Amino acid sequence: MRKTTMKVAVLLVLTVIWLSGCKRAPKEAHRTEFLMDTTITITAYGSQSEQAVEAAFAEMRRLADLMNANDSNSEVALINKNAGLKPVRVSPETFKLLEMSLEYSELSNGAFDVTVRPLVELWGIGKKDKYVPSEDEIQQVLKLVDYRKIILDPQKRTVFLSVPGMGIDLGGVAKGYAADQAKEVLKKYKVNSALIGAGGNIWAMGVRPDGQKWRIGIRHPRPETGNQLMAVLPCQDVTVVTSGDYERYFVRDGMRYHHIFDPRTGRPANKLISATVVGTNSAEADILSTALFVLGAEQGQTLIGKLEHAGAVLMTPESQVFKAGSHLSELELVYEEGKTSDARR
């Protein structure tokens, strides 16, 4: 073969390889683990997707160990052990999450309150067998539930629970924070298309590999009434977080008891059966979804109205759907009002 023919042939081969390289879909990595008392799944696309997913899970495991109130070695357990005794120095992230929690406790008039730990223990949803405490027991425990009795010292970075018996529980915010951190880790590995699902917390990063937006379904809280989904939201670079009464609950004497408590009554909140928040910070959206679930449709809509960057989709026990705020322009409501039978079950 002459030299020029050779060159042309090499060029052709290179071009073909390059073209096929362009067409190839980005490498997918997918993994599921049970962490923070829930199933966590990440699907990520990119040339380093495998390492990215590995590192994201390592980060979430680290956070789970730090913030799990049930693990006696965690930072949160240490804070709780020292309630009424002494301030405890904590990591910057636990401190930051507590500061954020207190800010939203103020904003939600105490509907979100991380000092619910004594209530969580009293009711023992999913742990004790269908246990319903007496009003007396509830009132005793409620004396310990008050976010204003947490004393934070930003200089020393310490947390002090000022009354013996108090306790904090980051169950309403930690999964959101973990999802935010997982997203940051994925970004470091140049992943810009991924779906992170941590219980009710979803991060939709970028768009799907086919260029379309992610489609996030919001589960109908009472699928037995006929609909599997209540809405679908096309998503790009947003987080979608749902709090519901249908995952951790029991029914006794026809009443449903679940794991989101109204700190004013000490009982499971009963104004909504599902609260979804869409935003760009999953820790914040996690806090908000819990807060809205407690506040109910009217006060919930008012709260979301004060925040420019978040949106909410709420469902009442009477199956009424309410929406408020931003990110919802493409929301497709599957559920049509009046079509579903009464959801009070």
Complex with Mg ion: residue 44 or 238, whichever CB lies closer: 238
> Residue 125 Cβ, how far from ligand ADP at the closest point, in Å?
7
Closest residue by beta carbon to ligand ADP:
171
Neighbouring CB atoms inside 10 A of 76's CB total: 27
Query: Which one of Mg ion, ligand ADP, none interacts with residue 114, CB within 5 to 8 A by kind?
Result: ligand ADP
Residue 290 within binding range of ligand ADP, rule CB under 6 A: yes
**Residue 247 binding: pick among ligand ADP, Mg ion, none (C-beta 5-8 Å cut-off by kind):** ligand ADP
For ligand ADP, what does the binding mask look like between residues 103 and 122, x meaning CB under 6 A? ---------xxx-x---x--
Q: Does 180 bind Mg ion (CB under 5 A)?
A: no
State the residue for tokens 């209540």. 230
- One DSSP character per residue, 83-114 reads TTT--EE--HHHHHHHHHHHHHHHHTTTSS-G
Q: Which of residues 285-314 bind Mg ion (CB under 5 A)?
A: 286, 289-290
Which residues, 214 to 253, sit near ligand ADP by CB under 6 A?
Answer: 243, 247
User: What residue has token string 């978040």?
Assistant: 310
Judged by CB under 6 A, the stretch of 43-51, 73-81, 169-177, 301-309 that binds ligand ADP is 169-177
Q: Does 295 bind ligand ADP (CB under 6 A)?
A: no
**Cβ contact 195:54 at 8 Å:** no
* 263 touches ligand ADP by CB under 6 A: yes
Q: Which of residues 182-211 bind ligand ADP (CB under 6 A)?
A: 199-200
Q: For residue 270, which amino acid is it?
A: N
Give Cβ neighbours of residue 142 (< 8 Å, ≥ 6 apart). 119, 263, 266
Pick the binder of Mg ion from 46, 167, 172, 279 (CB under 5 A). 172
Name 196's bridge partners: 42, 203
Print burial letters for 321-332: b (CB count within 10 Å at least 16), e (below 16).
bbbbbbbbeebe
260 binds, among Mg ion, ligand ADP, none (CB under 5 to 8 A by kind): ligand ADP
Helix (H, G, I), strand (E, B) or coil at 305: helix
**For the chain, how many residues are written?**
345
Contact 153, 87 (CB under 8 A): yes
Residue 287 CB, nearest approach to ligand ADP (Å): 8
| Beta carbon of residue 15, minimum distance to ligand ADP (angstroms, whole number) | 51
Residue 44 near residue 177 (C-beta atoms within 8 A): no
What residues are paired with 311 via a beta bridge? 278, 325
Residues that bind ligand ADP (CB under 6 A): 112-114, 116, 120, 169, 171-172, 175, 199-200, 243, 247, 259-261, 263, 286, 289-290, 293-294
